[in-house]
Structure formats: structure tokens, C-alpha cells
């Protein structure tokens, strides 16, 4: 039998707390899950440092990837199968792209990408196309299958219907992570009726659309998304831990560049510091490795690196105050001077962090990231953009919300009491 059509002798199931069971019947999917590149996702947390805010958020990207796969499987096997708009030949491609869409994520992606100027989507592509076990399995399906999978994930694949399953404002990725992150953090947001949403999905030539009768379920999903962003993903305590993590990486790089002599050579970081990371280097990085270095760096001579690592590992985070960049620019400058005076390096200990979310957007051609709008399908087949049908979605559509906070180590400031710079700092920060 052709490998692409090969089924397992008996269906395999994974017990999943969110979708109850994840079902695998295709040999190729099973083999992909067994590759070392995919298993590596077990060592990368889905929500980065969020576990320092919500202790339940310890789940991995492996966990989430299986979930996205399962959602796409239900769509293509239970909803799309047999419909004329759906080409059965795209089935395996959709499943593999769903499973592998996050393959290029590294440890604490958010911070690493920022500091070292990396792009996980790029690594996903390189892993799929490179000399890897994943590539080997995909190539068994067909010569150009790895390329197709990479294209779907890169959103450049010609069949936009397949692309929209994985990447749109309401795709399998988002539907899984909202529910999964809500489940593991324990927050009561993040619930919506996915079963209903799946039932009203319909394939069209270039995108997935939704029967109009399911509009309220889609609205509910949009609201869940909005709440999860502000309640979980942008939680100010999580951002504090991100700030510290980012500063650790900055400091380590700085030290390396300034020929600091590490007690224990940070071999795994060399290519990052030197900006020439290969796929092979990249695949050796995971959160265990990073946490290992943070632990041994607690014993370095450099007081900043040492302090920041202790803070991160022992969750001794920075405090924060609201900050308005437009109005409080001078205050920030003054604080910077005062920190310097007080012997607290403002480069590492006085940080403005901004979060911003666009809950839903209709189509604006030419904008930085063109976001495909959600379309509802009326009984007569006519398509209408969601925000024109839903008052609630219209209300929040296209409205970017931004939040700025200023982070600093309240404990260090407290310890310095008596010092006159510290006194003024305390007043400015209203401590």
C-alpha cells in the first residue's frame, strides 16, 4: 500500500484532557509524532513563563500540537468529508501541517526571538525541509510533500482553504490553545462551544466559512479570545517574568561579547550569541537546557547575571506601575538617572513593557499583517463578514488596545532606604 494511504493496524488514541481523546489512524501521522524533533516539543512549555503566574500552566507545545491536529482531524473527517468543495487529497496534508505548525518553536520563544532576532516560523520551515526525522517521514509520502506542508504553514500554499484551517482568525490553532490554556490555568474564560463551531464550518474555494446559525458560537469564541489575552496572556506578572528572562539573555550576550570569562562555558548559546544558529544547534535547545544554564549562572561572578537568574528561578519578580509613554517620558528619564545614581543599572532594572491586542479585524488590504476576516454564510449561500452581522464583534472590531507598564525591582529599592536617590525613586514610583 502507498505510505500516504497506510492506516495503522489499530487506531491509536491519546487521552487528552481537553478533547477527551486524540485519534490517530494514519501511519504517517503516527510516525511524525515519534520523531525526535516532535518529541522535543515536550520540553518546551506552551505558555513560556506563564506558569510563574498561573501555576497550572505547565503544559507543553507537544500537548497543544496534538490538540490542533485532533481539531483538524474532526473537521476533515466529520464535517468536510464528502462535501464537493473539499478535496479528499488535501486531508493528510492538512493533518500534517496541523501537527507540525509549531515545530520550530524554541525555548521561551517570545524572549529568545526578541533578543536573538530569531523567527520560529523560519525554523519550522527549515526543520521540515532539512535533514531531520520529520523530513524523512514526510518525504515517504511523496517527494514534494515536505514542501507542501511547509507552504501550508507559511500560508503560501495555493489552496487557501487548507491554509485557513490552520491560520485564520478562527482556526484550529487558536481554538485549541484558548481551550487548552484555560483548562491548564484553571481560568473560567476560554470556554466556547467548539463542537457547534465545527458543525457549522463549511469549506469554500478559498476559505472556511461558518453557517449563519452558528454566529453566536463564533461571537462567544471571539469574546473568549479577548478575555484570554487580557486575563492570561498579557497578565502583568507574566510580563514581569518575561522582562527578567529577556534581560538575562541580554546580559549573557553582552558578557560574551565583552569577553567575560564564564565559569562554565555556555556552549549551547554560542551560536545564538554569534548570530549563526543552524537547525542542528537549534534543535539542541530546549527549556531544560536553558534552565540548566540559569541555574549554574546563579554562581557566576557577574552580579547582574547572577541576580537576574536567581530572580527568575526563585520567582522573585519585578514589581510594576502603570506607565503612559506619551505623558511620562520625563519621569522615565529622571528615574533612569536616579537608578544610575543608586547603583542599580537601569538598562536591566528599569523596563517599560507594552502589550497590545487587536481582538478581531475585518480585512484591510496592505496592512502589516493582513488578517483574513471571518465570514458567515446565509441560507442562500451569500457570505457576510462577521462584524457586519454581530453588534458585539462590530463593537470591538479593529480596536487595538494597548497597555504599558514600568517594571523595576521593588526589593532592591526597599533595601536602599536612606540613600537620597532611592528616596526620590520611591516617591516617583509611589512605593
| Interface positions with a second copy (CB under 8 A) | 13-18, 20-21, 34-36, 39-40, 42-43, 51, 54-56, 58-60, 62-63, 66, 183-189, 191-193, 195-196, 199, 216-217, 219-220, 223, 226-227, 230-231, 284, 286-292, 295, 310, 313-316, 391-392, 394-396, 399, 401
State which residue, 154 or 223, has the beta carbon closest to a second copy.
Answer: 223
- Give the max Cα distance, the chain: 80
State which residue, 93 or 252, has the beta carbon closest to a second copy.
Answer: 252
Supply the minimum distance, in Å, between the C-beta of residue 159 and a second copy: 27
Supply the minimum distance, in Å, between the C-beta of residue 145 and a second copy: 22
State which residue, 370 or 411, has the beta carbon closest to a second copy.
Answer: 411
Provide CB contacts within 8 A for 100, sequence distance 6+: 32, 38, 65, 124, 128, 134, 149, 153
Closest CA to 201 of 220, 218, 178, 180: 218
Supply the minimum distance, in Å, between the C-beta of residue 39 and a second copy: 5
Using CB atoms within 10 A of its CB, is residue 5 exposed (0-12), middle (13-18) or buried (19+)?
Answer: exposed
Provide CB contacts within 8 A for 367, sequence distance 6+: none
State which residue, 162 or 393, has the beta carbon closest to a second copy.
Answer: 393
d(CA 69, CA 160): 18
C-beta neighbour count of 16 within 10 angstroms = 16
List C-alpha distances in Å: 389 to 200, 247, 381, 398, 411. 16, 45, 15, 15, 51
State which residue, 394 or 424, has the beta carbon closest to a second copy.
Answer: 394
State which residue, 160 or 174, has the beta carbon closest to a second copy.
Answer: 174
Supply the minimum distance, in Å, between the C-beta of residue 11 and a second copy: 9
Supply the minimum distance, in Å, between the C-beta of residue 267 and a second copy: 9
State which residue, 216 or 388, has the beta carbon closest to a second copy.
Answer: 216
The region that residue 289 occupies, defined by phi over 0 for left and psi between -120 and 50 for alpha, beta otherwise, is alpha
d(CA 29, CA 34): 9
Secondary structure in 3-state letters for 139-186: HHHCCCHHHHHHHHHHCCCCCHHHHHHHCCCCCHHHHHHHHHHHHHHC
Give the DSSP H/E element, type plus range, for residue 425: helix 420-428
Supply the minimum distance, in Å, between the C-beta of residue 224 and a second copy: 9
State which residue, 46 or 94, has the beta carbon closest to a second copy.
Answer: 46
d(CA 244, CA 348): 8
Supply the minimum distance, in Å, between the C-beta of residue 399 and a second copy: 6
Angle between helices 133-141 and 145-154 (to 10 degrees): 110
Residue 105 contacts residue 113 (beta carbons within 8 Å): no
Supply the minimum distance, in Å, between the C-beta of residue 38 and a second copy: 9
Supply the minimum distance, in Å, between the C-beta of residue 183 and a second copy: 7
State which residue, 276 or 380, has the beta carbon closest to a second copy.
Answer: 380
C-alpha cell at 214: 452558528
C-beta neighbour count of 212 within 10 angstroms = 18
Amino acid at each position: 500500500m502507498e505510505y500516504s494511504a497506510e492506516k495503522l493496524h489499530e487506531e491509536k488514541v491519546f487521552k487528552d484532557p481537553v478533547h477527551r481523546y486524540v485519534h490517530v489512524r494514519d501511519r504517517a501521522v503516527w510516525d511524525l509524532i515519534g520523531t525526535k524533533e516532535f518529541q522535543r516539543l515536550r520540553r518546551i512549555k506552551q505558555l513560556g513563563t506563564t506558569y510563574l503566574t498561573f501555576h497550572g500552566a505547565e503544559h507543553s507545545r507537544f500537548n497543544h500540537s496534538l490538540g490542533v491536529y485532533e481539531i483538524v482531524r474532526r473537521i476533515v473527517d466529520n464535517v468536510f468529508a464528502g462535501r464537493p468543495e473539499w478535496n479528499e487529497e488535501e486531508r493528510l496534508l492538512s493533518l500534517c501541517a496541523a501537527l507540525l505548525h509549531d515545530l520550530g518553536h524554541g525555548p521561551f520563544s517570545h524572549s529568545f526571538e526578541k533578543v536573538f532576532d530569531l523567527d520560529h516560523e523560519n525554523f519550522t520551515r527549515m526543520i521540515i525541509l532539512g535533514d531531520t526525522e520529520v523530513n524523512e517521514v514526510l518525504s515517504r509520502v511523496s517527494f514534494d510533500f515536505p514542501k507542501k506542508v511547509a507552504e501550508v504553514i507559511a500560508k503560501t500554499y495555493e489552496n487557501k482553504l487548507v491554509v485557513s484551517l490552520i491560520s485564520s482568525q478562527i482556526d484550529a490553532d487558536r481554538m485549541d490553545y484558548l481551550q487548552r490554556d484555560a483548562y491548564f490555568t484553571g481560568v473560567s474564560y476560554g470556554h466556547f462551544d467548539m463542537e457547534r463551531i465545527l458543525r457549522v464550518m463549511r469549506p469554500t474555494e478559498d476559505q472556511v466559512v461558518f453557517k449563519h446559525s452558528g454566529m453566536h458560537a463564533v461571537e462567544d469564541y471571539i469574546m473568549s479570545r479577548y478575555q484570554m489575552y487580557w486575563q492570561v496572556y498579557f497578565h502583568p506578572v507574566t510580563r514581569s517574568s518575561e522582562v527578567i528572562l529577556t534581560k538575562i539573555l541580554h546580559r549573557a550576550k553582552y558578557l560574551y561579547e565583552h569577553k567575560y570569562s564564564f565559569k562554565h562555558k555556555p556552549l549551547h548559546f554560542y551560536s545564538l550569541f554569534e548570530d549563526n544558529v543552524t537547525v542542528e544547534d537549534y534543535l539542541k535547545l530546549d527549556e531544560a537546557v536553558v534552565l540548566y544554564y540559569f541555574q549554574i549562572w546563579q554562581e557566576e561572578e557577574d552580579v547582574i547575571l547572577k541576580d537576574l537568574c536567581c530572580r527568575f528561578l526563585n520567582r522573585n519578580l519585578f514589581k510594576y506601575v502603570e506607565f503612559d509613554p506619551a505623558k511620562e517620558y520625563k519621569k522615565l528619564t529622571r528615574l533612569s538617572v536616579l537608578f544610575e545614581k543608586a547603583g542599580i543599572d537601569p538598562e536591566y532594572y528599569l523596563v517599560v513593557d507594552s502589550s497590545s491586542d487587536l481582538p478581531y479585524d475585518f480585512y484591510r488590504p496592505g496592512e502589516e499583517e493582513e488578517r483574513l476576516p471571518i465570514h458567515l454564510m446565509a441560507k442562500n449561500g451569500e457570505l457576510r463578514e462577521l462584524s457586519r452581522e454581530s453588534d458585539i464583534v462590530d463593537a470591538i472590531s479593529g480596536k487595538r488596545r494597548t497597555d504599558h507598564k514600568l517594571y523595576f525591582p521593588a526589593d532592591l529599592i526597599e533595601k536602599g532606604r536612606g540613600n537620597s536617590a532611592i528616596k526620590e525613586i520611591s516617591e516617583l514610583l509611589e512605593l
